[in-house]
Amino acid sequence: MINILLAAGLSLLFTLFTTPLLIKYLTRKKYGQFIREDGPDSHQVKRGTPTMGGLVIVAAVLFAYAVSHLLLWNPPTLSAILVLALMLAMGFLGFLDDSSKIAKERSLGLTPRGKLIGQFIIGGLFGWAVLNFPNARGLTPGSNAVSFLRDISWLVLPTIVAIIFVAFLVSAWSNATNLTDGLDGLLAGSATLVFAAYTLISIWQFNQWCGRLSSSGPRCYLVRDPYDLAVVAISLAAACFGFLWWNAKPAKIFMGDTGSMAIGASLAGLSVMTRTELLAVLIGALFVMEAGSVFLQVAYFKATKGKRIFKMSPIHHHFELKGWQEVTVVIRFWIICGLFVALGIGLFYAEWVVGQ
């Protein structure tokens, strides 16, 4: 527990005190955000706000994990390293996208196809690694099973299909969080809740871990390295929470694709490692709602040759155009996120109780 608390403190302090330094640097370099021309008029005042703040989030997580382990002399685990590597790789892809936007001086960076290919490659490599590289106990941190609440699954995929499925999850979640990051503080606040939930899930799995309990005792979790995954999850939660101080309205800095894509990939990685790929859809339902609104809008627009379901997508812009203040949309979406997180945690706990 000391490792978890130490990592949380280090990550929080890192983002609180280094983000202002990044803001000054990005302002001096004129690395500002470009606002989509078809967006709400109220967003045009945000033009020029420093972006790529996700660099701080990624750096904070890596710093907190490394320093907390060094101070307590705890060796890192393969499961945690793979999630961190996934976060770093997707953050780098987002950084390339942000850099492209700045260089082209417009709100579009990498081409959608190029970004999607990059996401699938990164996700595929992660999927391959979790199914092929054993940890210190000779066990692979990933599974071919698709699970809802635990490692026991009704669906076991062939290895190549499992890798493609993981690649899909990484791509889907990184795009969903990227779409959610459209209002000041919206993604940072909701991601804090989601990663806090995964901290609790990982701690619970560690307490009921097959590595600690007898296989002849109560049903246990067959996940790999749950305690270290809790350290990663709390580092992410604390980093997002600290960044929120500077990202809340009026935002002094945006996380950009560097942060939003890294956050989505981390969520995908944690869901794969904790065997909660399907439960993640409930815990991260806000992100699903945001991405789903874009899908429905585009599909309906094409099917009806120009008609729209929403005034604008993602759906948070729809409510803005209906007259809601930006801060009202953000707080209400945080509440929605919190309700789904609570429901997901409740189902996770209830399933374990019923299974005993």
Give the pLDDT score at 216: 45
pLDDT exceeds cutoff 70 at 304: yes
Q: pLDDT band for 87, please (50, 70, 90 cuts).
A: very high
Taking only the tens place, the pLDDT of each residue in 235-244 is 999 999 999 9
Distance in angstroms (rounded) separating the CA atoms of residues 236 and 195: 6
Q: What is d(CA 55, CA 62) in angstroms, rounded to the nearest whole number? A: 11
In sign, the C-alpha dihedral spanning 344, 224, 84, 132 is negative
pTM of whole model > 0.75?
yes
Which two structure tokens, joined as six digits, stand for 330?
């953000």
What are the residues whose beta carbons fall under 8 Å from the beta carbon of 183, sequence distance 6 or more? 249, 316, 320, 326, 329, 330, 333
Q: Which residues pair with 146 in a beta bridge?
A: 155
How does pLDDT run across 98-124, given as a tens digit for each residue? 888 777 665 556 788 889 999 999 999
Cis check for the bond before 226: say yes or no (omega within 30 of 0).
no
pLDDT for residue 37: 54
Q: Are 260 and 190 in contact (CB under 8 A)?
A: no
Residue 253 has pLDDT above 50, yes or no: yes
